[in-house]
Chain A
């Protein structure tokens, strides 16, 4: 195991976040605060409670997920895309390092960043509304697993993308709709039956449902099913990334 390599990749990826701290940590906080003002205050004043939870509080897990998913994907995809784009990836490829070590370095750093952002948003939310977390351990597990699996997903996108456009397309065209339609701001049973069925094919629904359950014990699907789906997604990403490295996909001719 090339521990030193993991250490430097992780360290310099974190350093990059630190140097762009405004973009890395502050902007997600600002956008979350804006969501709070718009959804929590404006809409929340009309919809009093959802399943017995005040609306402003109800949307906290969804908001966190929205930020976690977009940040994980953005960080991890950029982290690997950029060296590919500038050509500096040659060094990683010529180093005595295995794909697991590359993953631990890049994805580990991206996941850590998202985790920190998640905590910051949680603290910001606590500033706007009173928060109680019913199952802190479940909450942390969902938080960590989401950071890891979506950083992996971002890493895959970063490997796959061969131009900036592709790098942006997936987060914009796929992830944002999935999160918005995944019940960030409502429960599934508010939808018509047809849409309820359609929604069950949206993986983000399980994520948000499980995460919300760990806060308020209200959920669209059972928490075990949520956890199972998160693990399935994680496994899917791991297999994809393993195959990509194995075949040298988009990296080696």
Chain B
């Protein structure tokens, strides 16, 4: 069942598995699961996607990465996103390994490029914090 933000956007609904990800995001940390054999993985799930082990732990990452690929949504299929269009959806390759699909914030569409260094960026929407990325400031 979908829940909606006060601005109409559908919001992810934390589950017992994803709750630590959202709790960390609220504190401006990108925290991911790390398998002792295979390293970090994303999205949050109950078992490592490589070895299916469940002896992973939550660990903070540095939140840094670069754009691996991207597209630009100019239409906003969901009307609640029209206020944000055009917006970039990118695959971000994190320094710590995995790739995340996320929105790129604070960036002109014309400035997007493969390889652009980005950092995690946090947006509080009602009771939840969404993780996006933005060009590195430092």
A and B co-occur in one complex = no
Q: Which residues of B contact A (CB under 8 A)?
A: none
Q: Which residues of A contact B (CB under 8 A)?
A: none
